[in-house]
Copies of this chain bind each other. A is one copy, B any other.
């Protein structure tokens, strides 16, 4: 029984979009919310204090990486993931499935689970639904995810259908095995952009009465247009009163499309990975700070951004840091990009509360795409 770990209240709606409050064992999350990714028990290049300072309310941790290194039992011995990484707010962990299917070598999938070789040292390992839950219980995240099979984005319908059926059986085993009362277990609806398969997957999972539901299998090769088109109907398959999480998505415009479709939670490595690669997000599109045009530019990345990077440093300074391969460049730009994403969530919530989200969405889309 996991539902007691979580309560979710929808405070305002505008069409399908909603603004809510998600209460978890380690704190409260205003939704819609973006979760910075802390793969290996750290948001790359940032201290928890910096992560908190830009308005982060919930982090994502990667079960696959943490189980391999330093190991979930070690983390449990040291008091759990929150204490280990110095983050006392809510944490969601994924199941490790996506990483096994995208990072690990020599996968053998059966109903039992998936055998693979560690991408770190090649050692043979197995991830089963029970093991995925056990790891996440050791980590002690506020929200755990069921293990699902993630077929390639370009797979044939038959392959996706088999993966969907197996994912349903695995979700049931995860739910059976899960015991932590201070952790909510979310189910994952797969099926790609094929609505029939999404329905096939969602119906039995919804009947199992999980405290929250995710959409998996987006942002894995399909076009943004296909994803944006599929999102409203897919989101509508998930229970109206429960939190909805769109996994691994995406660009700011994708988050806006998700919010419009009724999604509450997002995560993506894009703001931090782009930050490490000198790509900055602004409301008027991305800018590449390595470009020579920024060498003498005294302006901040975004003149109205209240983050530490934008209030203290010029584009010229960031250009210099990346040219000199200085660690502070990735740190400051990861900070700004996350701040940009989180500010977008603040503004989206405010817009939903006042019934102005549709207008806000259209205006931001025009700016992001350079049409204003």
Partner-B contacts on A (CB < 8 A): 40-42, 44-50, 65, 69-70, 74, 77-79, 84-86, 295-296, 298, 308, 312-314, 316-317, 319-321, 323-324, 326-328, 330-332
Contacts and interface: CB of A to CB of B under 8 A. Distances in A.
A277 B296 CA distance: 33
A70 B70 CA distance: 40
5 contacts: A42-B327, A47-B332, A69-B324, A74-B296, A78-B314
Nearest to A48: B312
Contacts of A48: 312
A86 B326 contact: no
A86 B46 contact: no
Identical chains in the assembly: 2
A292 B49 CA distance: 28
A124 to B, nearest CB: 20
A40 B330 contact: no
A313 B41 CA distance: 12
Contacts of A42: 321, 326-328
A69 B317 contact: no
A327 B323 contact: no
B45 A317 contact: no
Contact of A84 (B44, B47, B314): B314
A71 to B, nearest CB: 9
A129 to B, nearest CB: 26
B321 A47 contact: no
A74 B86 CA distance: 40
Contact of A295 (B50, B74, B86): B74
A86 B313 CA distance: 6
A44 B328 contact: yes
Contact of A86 (B44, B50, B312, B331): B312
B316 A74 contact: yes
B331 A45 contact: yes
A45 B330 CA distance: 9
Contact of A45 (B41, B50, B314, B328): B328
Contacts of A69: 320, 323-324
Nearest to A43: B328
Given A49-B308, A84-B314, A86-B313, A326 B44 contact: yes
Contacts of A320: 40-41, 69-70, 84
Contacts of A84: 314, 316-317, 320
A6 B49 CA distance: 36
A330 B328 CA distance: 11
A84 B328 CA distance: 14
B47 A331 contact: yes
A207 to B, nearest CB: 40
B328 A46 contact: yes
A320 B65 CA distance: 12
* Top 5 A-B pairs, shortest CB-CB distance: A86-B312, A45-B327, A70-B320, A42-B328, A40-B324
A109 to B, nearest CB: 27
A41 B317 contact: yes
A298 B49 contact: no
Contacts of A40: 320-321, 324, 326
A70 B298 CA distance: 13
B77 A296 contact: yes
Contacts of A328: 42, 44-47
A295 B44 contact: no
